[in-house]
Amino acid sequence: MALRRILRIDNPDDKKILTTRCHPVRMPNPSLKQLVADMFETMHAANGVGLAAPQIGITQRLAVISIPPVVEERPDGTKVEVAPEQNFVLINPEIIKASNQEEVALEGCLSLPGWYGEVPRATWVTVEYTDLNGRRQRIRRATGLLARALQHEIDHLDGILFTERIRDLSTLKDYSEEMAPAAAE
């Protein structure tokens, strides 16, 4: 595995790649396993929830998402995992259904570290994609962080940056000196 350089929105050369609509991945593709391993390693090293291939300079429709486990604290102080970590490898993903309702929440991006803005997203989405084994999969009515991450990463594959989704740019702020309000995607 290898750490890859994450392209930045605020670098004009990087932004050209980040705003490019990506090509579909051809399957089967044996080299994808190594690329996916590198993407997960790079994403985790940057404390991210998602990473799309264009963020590391590859204009292919490929993204990885890692939703952390849900842990609850019991009255006696012990912590128990109530939902396991969820990892997704999304090859040629597409949103096939989305809620008409929106949620606005602070959202960040590994391509603009430390910066967060209020981004409206559908409250749920259904996504079809191909997995690493070449099988077509469907995530039905994803909600919460997974729904937001799916929309964010698929936007990357379409050349759309989260900053373009912000309706009120005054909400875009640098939180790098403070504790980050949410995970970056």
CATH of residue 164's domain is 3.90.45.10
What's the rounded Cα separation, in Å, for the pair 115 and 170? 12
3-state secondary structure 97-147: EECCCEEEEEEECCCCCCEEEEEEEECEEEEEEECCCCCEEEEEEEEHHHH
**Residue range 20-28: average pLDDT?**
95
The reply to whether 184 falls in a domain is no
pLDDT over threshold 60, residue 38: yes
Q: Is residue 147 over pLDDT 80?
A: yes
DSSP state of 38: H
SS3 label, residue 15: helix
Q: Is residue 2 part of a domain?
A: no
Q: Alpha-carbon distance 174 to 70, whole Å?
A: 27
- Contact (CB, 8 A) for 150 and 159: no
pLDDT at site 184? 55
Catalytic residue among 72, 85, 128, 153: 153
Residues in the chain: 185
Is pLDDT at 179 greater than 70 in this prediction? Answer: no
Catalytic site includes residue 94: no
pLDDT in tens, 83-116: 899 999 999 999 999 999 999 999 999 999 999 9
Domain that holds residue 20: 12-174
What is residue 177's predicted lDDT score, i.e. its pLDDT? 79
Residue 1 domain flag: no
Say what the pTM is. Answer: 0.92
Q: In total, how many domains does the chain have? A: 1
The owner of tokens 């994803």 is 142
